[in-house]
């Protein structure tokens, strides 16, 4: 779908003031609708060609954040529940969007739907912004005639995942900040404060520098001597790390193993991944998606390499006509309860319902353990901060005390 630049003059309805601006849209009619949504009465609208605007439309990566996607889907569900037709709902959501990059995507969705494509196909045109599970669920909803139900279910799924991820990030944020500040203070003292003691001790023969202070001075000198290598080495290390994480399967497996085996945080990693597997499979199975398609989509939603390998193993068992639960049995990254409940679900023919119950269990368990982690981290951080302050104070104060005593 082509997007054009339109200049406009319009009158604000609330005070009659004339305003000017530029807007991206697929047609002049869409500009008029957008202005009306903003309580503006169009006076003049004309197309303007600009090379700069063409370059400005170039974007990379994901534009729709998870939060934006959830908000959009909630609005779509509300409009569909109000018996608004899909093409009209798509038009409304596009014209009321203020973020131009997101609006460009929603205009594309509206254009595809209005041209006769399914909503799933329209989403499929933007794979970076609409996850595969969303496309699959919407496709099933359109085929079964229950698009409203499918959108409602996927909103619930995304909200649960977003809540868990946000909780984990907030839990890890404070330790990261404390460690960063502590490291920054330590480097500042080593480079700017402690070297001043060297001249003081050199001026008097036979007076020795305290070992703790000497250690920090030596560390500061090491940093100064290798400052060039550090400045260029750190970005290179980060780039190499990202390259290996993206390209090396073995490196991905090592990182995944460490994430699972790390004390305290490893349990959160395990619960989060098992919860996501159970949630994704239950959502799709309960909407009558074939198991192989469910596993393929689940593979895309899980980021930990070890769990991805488990899903691949499950696919092999299903292709061989066996139970997929065999892939999860007796594995260090899988709880016994998880494997047994899947096995029971397969044997009773209630796999979708069993996975839904399992997902709810893991979501609740994750929230409880994340809350416990927050409470456990607080005293650890306090001990760390007080220890750091004590060591730094001693390293700064000991030279003066030692110098006075030895004189």
Cα separation, 329 vs 345, in Å, equals 14
Rounded to the nearest 10°, the torsion over CA 105, 111, 114, 115 is: -130
Question: Following DSSP, what letter does each residue of 1-59 receive, concatenated?
Answer: ---EEEEEEEEETTT--EEEEEEEESSHHHHHHHHHHTTEEEEEEEE---HHHHHHT--
pLDDT for the residue 61: 62
**Residue 372 three-state SS:** helix
pLDDT for the residue 309: 93
CATH class of 66-159: mainly alpha
The helix-helix angle for 351-406 and 265-285 (nearest 10°) equals 160
Q: What is the DSSP letter of 330?
A: T
- If we measure between CA atoms, which residue out of 110, 116, 90, 100 comes closest to residue 1? 110
Q: Which residues have C-beta within 8 Å of that of residue 281, sequence separation ≥ 6?
A: 294, 295, 298, 351, 352, 355
pLDDT for the residue 30: 76
Per-residue pLDDT of the chain (407 residues; tens, 9 = 90+): 566 677 888 888 888 888 887 777 777 777 787 787 778 888 888 777 766 555 555 555 677 888 889 999 999 999 988 888 888 888 888 878 878 788 888 888 888 888 788 998 889 888 888 988 888 888 888 887 888 888 888 888 888 878 877 877 777 777 778 778 877 887 887 788 777 777 776 666 666 777 777 888 888 888 888 888 888 888 899 999 989 888 888 999 999 999 999 877 788 888 888 888 888 888 888 878 888 888 988 888 888 999 999 999 999 999 998 999 999 988 999 988 888 989 998 888 888 888 888 888 887 777 777 777 777 777 777 787 778 778 877 777 777 776 666 55
**Residue 332 three-state SS:** coil
Cα separation, 177 vs 164, in Å, equals 21
HEC-encoded secondary structure of 76-141: HHHHHHCCCCHHHHHHHHHHCCCCHHHHHHHHHHHHHHHCCCCHHHHHHCCCCCCCHHHHHHHHHH
Strands 4-12 and 18-25: antiparallel
Long-range contacts of 287-296 (CB under 8 A, 24+ apart): 287/137, 287/140, 287/141, 287/144, 287/150, 287/153, 288/140, 288/144, 289/136, 289/137, 289/140, 291/318, 291/324, 291/351, 292/318, 292/319, 293/136, 295/324
Long-range contacts of 394-398 (CB under 8 A, 24+ apart): 394/212, 395/189, 395/194, 395/210, 395/212, 395/213, 395/216, 396/189, 396/193, 396/194, 396/213, 398/210, 398/212, 398/213
Rounded to the nearest 10°, the torsion over CA 80, 86, 92, 95 is: 140
Cα separation, 333 vs 336, in Å, equals 10
> Start-end ranges of CATH 1.20.81.30 in the chain?
66-159, 194-407
Q: What kind of architecture, by CATH, is found in domain 194-407? A: Up-down Bundle (1.20)
CB atoms within 10 A of CB 105: 24
Cα 60 to the center of its chain, rounded Å: 16
β-sheet bridge partners, residue 44: 9
Rounded to the nearest 10°, the torsion over CA 48, 53, 58, 63 is: -90
**Torsions phi, psi of 120, nearest 5?**
-60, -40
Answer CATH for 4-56 from 3.30.70, 3.10.20, 1.25.10, 2.60.120? 3.10.20
- If we measure between CA atoms, which residue out of 95, 155, 173, 86 comes closest to residue 122? 86
Spell out the alpha helix ranges (H) of 192-264: 196-202, 211-225, 227-247, 249-261
pLDDT for the residue 170: 78
pLDDT for the residue 203: 66
pLDDT for the residue 144: 79
Cα separation, 333 vs 164, in Å, equals 19
Are the beta carbons of 77 and 152 closer than 8 angstroms?
yes
Specify the residue for token string 């990261």.
176
């Amino acid at each position: 779908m082509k997007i054009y630049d339109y200049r406009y003059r319009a009158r604000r309805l609330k005070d009659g003031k004339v305003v000017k601006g530029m807007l991206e849209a697929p047609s002049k009619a869409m500009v008029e609708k957008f202005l009306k949504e903003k309580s503006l009465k169009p006076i003049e609208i004309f197309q303007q060609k600009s090379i700069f605007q063409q370059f400005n439309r170039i974007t990379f990566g994901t534009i729709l954040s998870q939060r934006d996607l959830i908000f959009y889907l909630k609005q779509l569900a509300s409009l569909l529940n109000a018996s608004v037709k899909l093409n009209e709902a798509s038009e409304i959501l596009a014209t009321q969007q203020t973020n131009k990059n997101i609006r460009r995507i929603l205009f594309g969705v509206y254009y595809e739907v209005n041209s006769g494509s399914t909503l799933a196909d329209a989403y499929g045109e933007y794979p970076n912004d609409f996850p595969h599970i969303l496309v699959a669920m919407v496709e099933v909803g359109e085929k079964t005639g229950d698009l409203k139900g499918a959108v409602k279910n996927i909103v619930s799924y995304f909200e649960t995942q977003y809540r868990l991820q946000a909780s984990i990030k907030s839990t890890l944020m404070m330790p990261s900040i404390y460690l960063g500040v502590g490291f920054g203070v330590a480097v500042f003292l080593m480079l700017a404060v402690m070297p001043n003691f060297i001249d003081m001790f050199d001026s008097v023969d036979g007076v020795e520098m305290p070992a703790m202070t000497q250690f920090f001075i030596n560390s500061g000198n090491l940093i100064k001597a290798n400052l060039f290598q550090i400045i260029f080495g750190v970005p290179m290390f980060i780039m190499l790390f990202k390259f290996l994480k993206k390209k090396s399967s073995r490196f991905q497996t090592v990182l995944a193993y460490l994430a699972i085996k790390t004390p305290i945080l490893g349990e959160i990693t395990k619960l989060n991944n098992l919860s996501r597997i159970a949630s994704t499979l239950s959502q799709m199975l309960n909407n009558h998606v074939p198991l192989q398609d469910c596993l393929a989509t689940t593979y895309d939603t899980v980021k930990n390499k070890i769990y991805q390998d488990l899903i691949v193993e499950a696919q092999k068992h299903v292709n061989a006509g066996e139970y997929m639960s065999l892939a999860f049995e007796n594995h260090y990254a899988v709880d016994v309860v998880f494997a047994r409940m899947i096995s029971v679900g397969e044997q009773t023919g209630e796999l979708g319902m069993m996975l839904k119950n399992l997902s709810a269990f893991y979501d609740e368990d994750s929230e409880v353990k994340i809350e416990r982690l927050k409470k456990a981290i607080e005293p650890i951080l306090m001990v760390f901060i007080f220890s750091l302050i004590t060591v730094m104070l001693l390293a700064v104060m000991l030279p003066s005390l030692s110098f006075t005593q030895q004189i």
